[in-house]
Amino acid sequence: MQENVSNSYPVEKLTQFAKAMFCATGMEDDKADSLARLMVLTDMMGHRTHGLALLPPYLDQIEKGLMRKSGSYEVIKDKGSTAVWDGDYLPGHWLMEQALNESFKRVGQYGVVSIALRRCHHIGCLAAIVKQAADRGLIAMLFNSDPVGKFVAPYGGTEPLFTPDPFAIGYPTAKSPVLVDISSSITTVSMTRTHYAEGRQFKNPWLLDGDGKPTTDPAVLEHTDPRGSIQLVGGLEYGHKGFGLVLMNEALSQGLSGHGRKDNVTRWGGNVFLQVIDPEWFAGLDEFVANTDFLAEQCRHSRPADPAKPVRLPGDQAAKCIEDATQNGVVYGQSTWAALVQWAEKLGVPAPQAI
């Protein structure tokens, strides 16, 4: 069953609320601000598993000393158009904004700027990050992996070794930007845990049990011995495609940052490879948008298999959700809001009033 719907809350008040909770832990203002803004934006885009629903686990990480509240990243290497940073488990949202802002400064000079980051804390919703570049008429590609997580087995194997390894691209069109944010696995860890907590089976066999057999049972991921795994994109027949995506992701996010699974990482976090591209260094922004918009409109006007469900591009729904949330606020499920209120009471932060 789905979580019961709670009330709607205004975006500005939600952002102030989230920032106040992070600041109440002693986090520096700029880091609390980045976290709050991007997490609320994520909820506005409709990606509710990666918005303020993550605030309680983040606060728990801060309480345990596993997310740093102050300080800055270390520059390991800087060649102008490329750089390697060590985030030392500072908030991932803040680190990503620092990397984006640095890329924006440099991309006019170099055309393409690439930054590899190691030891970030969790970076949240990738689409919300690449959107910042697309809104500026730039292209951003983002690859993210967690060297400690083991939930997805290599193709043909039975032992979980990888995280779902998400990646994203954002680029401008004449309308809303295209925002592709997908994983190398069929489903995610958070979705699997949600199904298990609610006692639900998946509708399709998106997992493998400990013997490598397809199953709909979410319990196999963390509650059986031997453990099962999440299937790669492509499933049993074509999982080599998802396996290839994982290998690409980990080479870029871990190989280029010089830090990964070989280092026996024990903390929840992430490695990131960010690349920002300025179309003006190629055929030009006008030509880029003319081509991307032409294809986008062809897709949107393709005769749909179901007339009630017209074709939409990744990012179209997010744009509509943002517009609605701006006007009407963001709605949270009762259990999500209850968890937020519980932490607010603990930290002495007043919760916002519903609309």
Cα angle 73, 259, 60 (rounded to 5 degrees) comes to 60
The whole-number pLDDT of residue 314 equals 96
Query: What would the pLDDT profile of 302-317 be if each residue is shown by its tens digit?
Result: 999 999 999 999 999 9
Tell me the two tokens of residue 72. Answer: 């800055």
Distance, CA of 125 to CA of 210 (rounded, Å): 30
For residue 201, the tally of other CB atoms under 10 A from its CB is: 13
Q: What is the mean pLDDT of residues 238-266?
A: 96
Query: What would the pLDDT profile of 125-164 be if each residue is shown by its tens digit?
Result: 999 999 999 999 999 999 999 999 999 999 999 999 999 9
Beta strands in 172-261 (DSSP E): 178-182, 207-208, 214-215, 229-230
Query: What would the pLDDT profile of 82-110 be if each residue is shown by its tens digit?
Result: 999 999 999 999 999 999 999 999 999 99
For residue 14, the tally of other CB atoms under 10 A from its CB is: 24
Residue 203 has phi, psi (to 5 degrees) of -70, -25
CATH number of the 187-230 domain: 3.30.60.50
State percent of the chain over pLDDT 70.
98
Are 87 and 98 in contact by the 8 Å Cβ rule? The answer is no
State percent of the chain over pLDDT 90.
92
The whole-number pLDDT of residue 5 equals 60
139-145 and 229-230 beta bridge pairing: unpaired
CATH number of the 5-186+231-286+315-347 domain: 3.30.1370.60
Domain ranges of the chain: 5-186+231-286+315-347, 187-230
Distance, CA of 298 to CA of 19 (rounded, Å): 42
The whole-number pLDDT of residue 4 equals 60
The whole-number pLDDT of residue 57 equals 95
Average pLDDT, rounded, for the chain: 95
What confidence tier does 194 reach under pLDDT thresholds 50, 70, 90? confident
Distance, CA of 42 to CA of 70 (rounded, Å): 23
Query: What would the pLDDT profile of 197-216 be if each residue is shown by its tens digit?
Result: 889 999 999 999 999 999 99
Distance, CA of 170 to CA of 148 (rounded, Å): 27
Residue 297 has phi, psi (to 5 degrees) of -70, -35
The whole-number pLDDT of residue 1 equals 40
The whole-number pLDDT of residue 3 equals 55
- Put simply, whether the predicted model's pTM sits higher than 0.75 gets the answer yes
- What is the rounded radius of gyration, in angstroms, for the C-alpha atoms of the chain? 20
